[in-house]
């Protein structure tokens, strides 16, 4: 009897623990989770699926997600998002199930950053189902909200996607930012895959989707597609209105029994929509296996606008698994070495300078790539009787030609950027890639040191061959070698003493630069630091000439040789795709000249404020390019550089219209009176941050302020300050006018009702809010440039900014 009593009492004590262990995946109102490493999630009944905070590659940020919890790597199948852009939050953020609003996600400061839109304020509980669907239900068990109705890149068995439903890819396998590919079920019943322009999210559909289920029937609507269904048996199909099914994986089958495998259908970051399975019982060598994928060859199916399946200037080919692989052609390399699916850039510029003494055949070689084509980048086509040599010669002698495609007696000339590149064994055309001759690209090398090293190697080789003939000859040769080494090192030491530089910058003489610019004849422009002239010079061992921009500094402190050399050393060590490269310097007497690479598309001011308005896509990419360049200057180069003069005139555009920041690092060389520019227009100092005029410390936040003004100019395609006769009193100052329009809900006025921009109002609003955060009068409120990039790309949620100039008065 006593034993039975003890057993009963023990069972009563276990009841609370059993209730916790067997919750059927239910989540009570008021329950919460906090973002932290190794934090416990909400599990489904079987434990197959988890809902909680998933760490990202950035250890400081978490993603509210649903994932397969029993699979190594925790494959994510859903995450909180706004129009496909993930809501990333820092450690300490919190998700709460609220009785009125459903799921509420707040960051570590308690600010609401995302919520589930429940159907009505009647939340009774939430449940993490074994299907992978997190649902919020009412007291009557009605469905108020479910993750299945708001998919990201993945469908699960038992999930249905209705008309106008969408899946969007990630940017990379482990980068959850919205990618370039979109799967959608259209109103006409077709399931399609399209390329999307980033960051505007404009769908490229002019040339049609790159995959189409062809389940629409205009003649008989009852035969058109109505739903995309992934049933629990593992079949993925478009269900037509008349009940007929159109399978997506015809001829492909899952292993049996199907209930022994996890399944998912995912639009992958590479643009391929595929069904996968994974064994529930661990066999020791498990991974996701493919059942089927669409399209069968994405390299050949993607065309029209955009870069193609891979980035610009790249080549797409299929690997042994039928998935796209991207490679750069000869003479190119990936813009981002960590992104092998991104765009490629030229390793050096092609020279369009006409020099009758040097033939194009001496400057360039032709690399042949069989079965390769960029079908959408033509600008010229030559006859039907061309042979291969004619095609090669035509490209060599055309300074705009980057690659020529030869096939069937015709020759197509192509220039940058190259798009939709693909390699296809059934395509019998050949690609002739024009590459600079020799080991070095025509961009600047340190040739003088290279020649010295070559001389040393030749002396060593010659000496080793001849030594041993006689004692006298040996002694003579040893003496000659010693003298040679002495003169070589003396030459190098004198060079260092002359320039005092620790970088690989070339030291020009004033005479060299006068000849290179034809007596400083062609003026490109004048800035705060001096006049810029165009010139050409030989910069490689092959003797090829490149165009250069020579800046004569006429407003620097000429008696500060040490300071000048220190700053030039810092500038010379910088290297980033969004910075203009400094090639060399000249320092003779009071002459100070800087030699930069020449960028043919001029300044952003000329491009932005000209007669032809750049596209919204181009403007957003330019803004991101400037931001990335500033992140490098502020955080990534060995010595922090504050630019202090960010404006459209100091942003140059390369051949691909990518933004390149110029004049960085020169602010310390200016005479003191040049940093005191003042204006009486309503307290605004143009691009200059307010702290310049308040005796406050100048930090990198002055560049953030200037970038904010620049961003508004990029958005609106107008200058930050306009002449009074060209505008009314309310819109003379762009920063004030833009915020007034934003606060009054009249953002269409900022873009002159540009339909391309108005079709992407969410991006427009996000860019505007970022600009207003950047131009806050209080420097502490301005974000870092790294945070600016995350906000522009939609990786970090942008909160509504306060009035950026609450203390300004009309003056």
Binding region for ATP = 552
Helix axes 734-743 and 761-774, enclosed angle (nearest 10): 130
Per the CB < 8 A criterion, the answer to whether 805 and 772 are in contact is: no
Per the CB < 8 A criterion, the answer to whether 419 and 374 are in contact is: yes
Q: How far apart are CA 416 and CA 232, in angstroms?
A: 48
**DSSP string covering 260-299, please?**
GEEEEEEE-TTS-EEEEEEESS--SS---EEEEEESS-HH
| Sole residue written with tokens 């040049």 | 674
Cα–Cα distance list, 234 to 47, 78, 184, 289, 366 (Å):
20, 19, 20, 14, 51
Which residue ranges are tagged as binding site? 552
Task: For residue 158, give both structure tokens.
Answer: 């038992």
Per the CB < 8 A criterion, the answer to whether 782 and 689 are in contact is: no
Helix axes 785-792 and 761-774, enclosed angle (nearest 10): 170
Widest pairwise Cα distance in the chain: 117
Per the CB < 8 A criterion, the answer to whether 144 and 120 are in contact is: yes
Per the CB < 8 A criterion, the answer to whether 790 and 798 are in contact is: no
SS3 per residue for 70-82: CCCCCCEEEECEE
Q: How far apart are CA 119 and CA 102, in angstroms?
A: 9
Going through 401-440 in order, the beta strands assigned E by DSSP cover 403-407, 410-414, 422-423, 430-436
Partnered with residue 681 across adjacent β-strands are: none
Among the options 48, 190, 398, 645, which is catalytic?
645
Question: N- to C-terminal Cα distance for the chain?
Answer: 94
Q: CA torsion angle for 775, 776, 778, 782 (degrees, to 10)?
A: -80
In angstroms and rounded to an integer, the radius of gyration of the C-alpha atoms of the chain is 32
Element (H, E) at 475: helix 471-499
Neighbouring CB atoms inside 10 A of 11's CB total 10
Q: 3-state class of 105 per DSSP? A: strand
Catalytic (active site) residue 748: no
Cα–Cα distance list, 794 to 81, 194, 539 (Å):
10, 21, 42
**Residue 257, preceding bond cis, omega within 30 degrees?**
yes
What is the chain's length? 811
- Residues in CB range of 265: below 8 A, 6 or more apart: 154, 155, 156, 230, 236, 273, 274, 275, 276
Per the CB < 8 A criterion, the answer to whether 602 and 652 are in contact is: yes
Report the helix count and the strand count for the chain, using DSSP H and E. Answer: 15, 47
Q: What are phi and psi of 208, to 5 degrees?
A: 85, 160
Element (H, E) at 96: strand 94-98
Q: What are phi and psi of 2, to 5 degrees?
A: -65, -40
Judging by beta carbons within 10 Å of its beta carbon (0-12, 13-18, 19+), is residue 181 exposed, middle or buried?
buried
> Which DSSP category does 721 fall into?
B
> Which DSSP category does 579 fall into?
B
Judging by beta carbons within 10 Å of its beta carbon (0-12, 13-18, 19+), is residue 744 exposed, middle or buried?
exposed
Q: How far apart are CA 664 and CA 44, in angstroms?
A: 55
Q: What are phi and psi of 515, to 5 degrees?
A: -70, -40
Name the residues annotated as catalytic: 645
């Amino acid at each position: 009897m006593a034993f039975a009593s003890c057993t009963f009492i023990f069972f009563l004590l276990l009841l609370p623990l059993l209730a916790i262990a067997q919750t059927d995946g239910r989540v009570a109102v008021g329950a919460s989770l906090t973002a932290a490493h190794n934090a416990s999630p909400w599990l489904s009944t079987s434990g197959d699926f988890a809902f909680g905070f998933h760490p990202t590659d950035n250890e400081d940020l978490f993603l509210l997600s649903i994932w397969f919890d029993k699979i190594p790597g925790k494959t994510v199948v859903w995450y909180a998002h706004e129009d496909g852009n993930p809501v990333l939050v820092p450690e300490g953020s919190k998700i709460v199930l609220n009785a009125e609003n459903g799921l509420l996600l707040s960051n570590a400061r308690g600010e609401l950053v995302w919520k589930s839109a429940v159907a009505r304020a009647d939340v009774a509980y939430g449940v993490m189902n074994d299907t992978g669907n997190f649902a919020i239900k009412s007291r009557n068990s009605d469905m108020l909200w479910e993750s299945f109705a708001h998919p990201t890149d993945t469908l699960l068995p038992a999930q249905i996607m209705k008309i106008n439903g969408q899946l969007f890819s990630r940017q990379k396998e482990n980068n959850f930012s919205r990618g370039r590919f979109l799967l959608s079920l259209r109103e006409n019943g077709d399931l399609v895959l399209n390329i999307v322009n980033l960051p505007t999210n404009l769908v490229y559909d002019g040339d049609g989707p790159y995959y189409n289920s062809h389940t629409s029937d205009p003649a008989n609507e009852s035969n058109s597609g109505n739903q995309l269904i992934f049933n629990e048996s593992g079949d993925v199909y478009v269900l037509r209105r008349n009940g007929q099914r159109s399978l997506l994986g015809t001829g492909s089958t899952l292993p049996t029994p199907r209930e022994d495998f996890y399944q998912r259908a995912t639009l992958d970051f590479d643009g391929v929509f595929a069904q996968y399975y994974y064994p529930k019982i661990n066999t020791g060598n498990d991974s996701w296996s493919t059942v089927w994928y669409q399209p069968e060859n994405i390299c050949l199916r993607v065309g029209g606008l955009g870069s193609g399946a891979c980035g610009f200037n790249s080549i797409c080919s299929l690997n042994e698994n039928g998935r796209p692989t991207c490679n750069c052609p000869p003479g190119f390399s990936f813009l981002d070495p960590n992104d092998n699916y991104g765009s490629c850039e030229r390793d050096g510029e092609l020279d369009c300078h006409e020099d009758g003494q040097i033939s194009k055949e001496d400057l360039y070689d032709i690399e042949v790539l069989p079965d390769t084509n960029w079908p959408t980048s033509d600008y010229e086509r030559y006859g039907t009787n061309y042979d291969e040599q004619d095609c090669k010669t035509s490209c060599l002698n055309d300074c705009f030609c980057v690659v020529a495609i030869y096939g069937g007696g015709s020759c197509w000339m192509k220039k940058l950027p190259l798009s939709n590149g693909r390699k296809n064994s059934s395509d019998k055309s050949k690609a002739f890639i024009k590459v600079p001759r020799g080991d070095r690209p025509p961009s600047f090398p340190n040739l003088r040191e290279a020649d010295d090293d070559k001389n040393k190697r030749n002396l060593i080789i010659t000496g080793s061959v001849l030594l041993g003939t006689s004692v006298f000859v040996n002694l003579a040769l040893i003496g000659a070698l010693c003298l040679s080494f002495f003169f070589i090192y003396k030459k190098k030491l004198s060079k260092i003493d002359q320039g005092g530089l620790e970088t690989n910058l070339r030291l020009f003489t004033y005479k060299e630069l006068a000849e290179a610019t034809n007596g400083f004849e062609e003026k490109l422009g004048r800035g705060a630091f001096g006049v810029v002239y165009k010139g050409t010079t030989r910069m490689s061992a092959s003797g090829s000439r490149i165009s250069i921009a020579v800046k004569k500094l006429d407003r620097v402190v000429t008696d500060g040789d040490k300071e000048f050399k220190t700053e030039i050393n810092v500038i010379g060590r910088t290297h980033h795709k969004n910075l203009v490269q400094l090639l060399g310097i000249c320092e003779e007497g009071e002459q100070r000249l800087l030699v930069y690479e020449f960028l043919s598309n001029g300044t952003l001011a000329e491009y932005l404020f000209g007669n032809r308005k750049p596209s919204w896509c181009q403007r957003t990419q330019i803004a991101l390019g400037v931001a990335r360049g500033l992140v490098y200057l502020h955080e990534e180069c060995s010595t922090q550089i504050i630019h202090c003069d960010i404006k459209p005139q100091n942003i140059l555009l390369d051949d691909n219209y990518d933004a390149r920041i110029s004049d960085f690092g020169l602010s310390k060389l200016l005479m003191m009176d040049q940093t005191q520019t003042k204006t009486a227009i309503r307290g605004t100092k143009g691009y200059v941050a307010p702290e310049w005029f308040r005796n406050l410390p100048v930090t990198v936040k002055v560049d953030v302020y200037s970038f904010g003004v620049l961003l508004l100019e990029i958005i609106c395609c107008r200058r930050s300050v306009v002449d009074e006769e060209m505008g009314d009193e309310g819109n003379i100052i762009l920063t004030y006018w833009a915020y007034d329009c934003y606060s009054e809900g009249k953002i269409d006025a900022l873009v002159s009702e540009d339909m391309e921009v108005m079709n992407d109002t969410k991006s427009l609003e996000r860019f505007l809010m970022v600009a207003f955060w950047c131009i806050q009068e209080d420097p502490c409120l301005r974000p870092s440039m790294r945070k600016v990039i995350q906000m522009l790309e939609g990786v970090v949620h942008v909160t509504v900014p306060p009035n950026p100039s609450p203390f300004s008065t009309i003056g």
